[in-house]
Amino acid sequence: MSTAKGDPERAVDGFIAVADLLDEPRLARLYTHVLRSDDVTIDEIVADLGIPRTTAYSDAASLVELGVLTRDETQKTHTYTALSVVLTTILDEDEYTITPTLIDAIGRAPRDPDLSLLVEKHGIGKLAAALTYAIPYTEGTMSERVAARELDLQSAFGIAVLHALREVVLDMQEHDRYFDRIRNARDNPPREDG
Amino acid sequence: MTELDTANAGNPAWIADTGLFIACGRQQNDKYTAVARFAQRHDRTFVIPHRVYDELGGAPERSTPDETPINTAIDAGWVRVADPPNYANSTVATVMDDVRGYIARASNRNEDTIEKADTALAGVAAQLLDGDEAAYIYLLTTDIHAGEGSVAAVEDAGFDGQIEVVDGFELIEEITS
C-alpha cells in the first residue's frame, strides 16, 4: 500500500482490506496486535494471543495478502510488521474515518461481554459511534451519561461500553498514527432532528 | 488508597457512582470480593444515589452492570441506597443546578440536554453535608469530569474543602493489585 497517491487500484484494494478486517474480528485482533508489537514472529504471536500455530500462520498469510502486514523473509525466522490503515467513508453527508483503533475494538469484541453485546444488538456502526465518545471520555472531556444518552444506550450499559473502549483508546493512541483523524463526539453535538 | 485511609475530617461519607461497580465487574476475575473486603475492613459503607441503583438494575441482560451483585452488597451492609435528594432544600437544588451547568459546559453541550438525574451524586453529597450526616465526602466515580463538577458545585455552596473525587479506576487498581 505504498504506491503513488491517487492510485485507484490501491484505493479499492485498501477498502476491501479494511472491510475484511471489520468483518473478521480474529484477523482484526491479529492485525492490531502486530501493529502494537512491531516485528513479531509467529512464535511470539502464538504465545501472546494464545491461538493455535496453524491459525496464526494462515491468518498472518491472509493479512499479508490483504496488504496490511508485511513479512520480512530476509532473516531465518520471519517477522511481521503491520502497516497503518486509514479509510474515510462518506455516505451522503455522513463521514467517518476508520483507523486501526476501530479495528482494535472489533478485534476485542468477541472476548468482551459489553462490546460483544453492543455489536450483537446494534451492529458495528454503533461501536464506531461509541468510539467517538470514548475518545473525549478518556481525555476527561465527556460525561458518561451524556455519552450514553446520545448513543441511545441504557446508562449503565453505555458506561460499560465506554469503559471497554477506554481500554482500546489507552492501548491504541500511541500506536495508531491516524488516531487524531477519528471523529470526536465532543465537537459534534447530535443533530437537532436526530 | 492513602487519602482514603486517612480521613480528612471526622465522620466522612463515601458516595459511589455506577461506574465504580462496572469497572469492578469488568476486571478479568471480578473484583467485588476485593472491594467488599476493602469496605468491610475499613468499616465503610458506600452510599449510592437511588439513580445508581436503578441504572445497575435496568441494564440489559448479559451486560457487566446486569451481573453486578448490588443487592447482595446491600444485604451484606457495605452498600446503602441514599434517601432521594430533597429538591425543596435550596442548598441541594442549587448544587444540582450548578452541576448541570458544569457538565454541559465541559461536555460542550446545551444545558437543557443534561438531565437533573445526572447530578444525583452531587445532590446526595450536598444533602449529607447540609444535614450534618457527614462532615467530609469522598466521591468514588469513573466519570471524573462529572465528579469534578460535583466538587466545584458543592464547594461553592459553602462546603469548601469538604469534598474530593476519588478516581474509581485507580481505586480498584490499588485495592486489587
A193 within 8 A of A158, measured Cβ to Cβ: no
B66 within 8 A of B27, measured Cβ to Cβ: no
Tell me the three cell numbers of residue A96.
467517518
A93 within 8 A of A140, measured Cβ to Cβ: no
B23 within 8 A of B169, measured Cβ to Cβ: yes
Distance from CA of B144 to the nearest CA of A (A): 6
Who among B26, B55, B58 is closest to A163 (CB)?
Answer: B26
Q: What is the pLDDT of residue A41?
A: 95
Q: What is the pLDDT of residue A114?
A: 97
Q: What is the pLDDT of residue B1?
A: 45
Instruction: Choose among A181, A29, A183: nearest CA to A105.
Output: A29
Distance from CA of B81 to the nearest CA of A (A): 17
Q: What is the pLDDT of residue A34?
A: 97
Tell me the three cell numbers of residue B48.
449510592
User: A114 and B114: CB-CB below 8 Å?
Assistant: no
Q: What is the pLDDT of residue B87?
A: 87
Give CA B62 to chain center in angstroms: 24
Tell me the three cell numbers of residue A98.
476508520
Which chain B residue is nearest to residue A154, measuring alpha carbons?
B59
User: B109 and A141: CB-CB below 8 Å?
Assistant: no
A-chain residues near B55 (CB < 8 A): 154-156, 159
Q: Does B130 touch chain A (CB under 8 A)?
A: no
Tell me the three cell numbers of residue B84.
432521594
**What are the average pLDDT values for consecutive 10-residue runs of chain B, which has 177 residues?**
52 94 82 84 91 96 94 94 92 94 91 86 96 95 92 96 95 85
Q: Which residue has the cell 492510485?
A: A7
Return the HEC string of chain A: CCCCCCCHHHHHHHHHHHHHHHHCHHHHHHHHHHHHHCCECHHHHHHHHCCCHHHHHHHHHHHHHHCCEEEECCCCCCEEEECCCCEEEEECCEEEEECHHHHHHHHHHHHCHHHHHHHHHHCHHHHHHHHHHHHHHHHCCCCHHHHHHHCCCCHHHHHHHHHHHHHHHHHHCCCCCCHHHCCCHHHCCCCCCC
Q: What is the pLDDT of residue A142?
A: 94
A86-120 burial, b at 16+ Cβ within 10 Å, e below that, comes to bbeeeeeeeebbbbbbbbbbbbbbeebbbbbbbbe
Q: What is the pLDDT of residue A70?
A: 94
Cut 0.90: pTM above it = yes
B-chain residues near A117 (CB < 8 A): 60, 62-63
Tell me the three cell numbers of residue A44.
511470539
B47 within 8 A of B16, measured Cβ to Cβ: yes
The residues of chain A scoring below 50 in pLDDT are 1, 193-194
Q: Which phi-psi region, left, alpha or beta, contains residue B112 (left: φ > 0; alpha: ψ -120 to 50)?
A: alpha
A131 within 8 A of A182, measured Cβ to Cβ: yes
β B136-141/B12-16 pair status: parallel
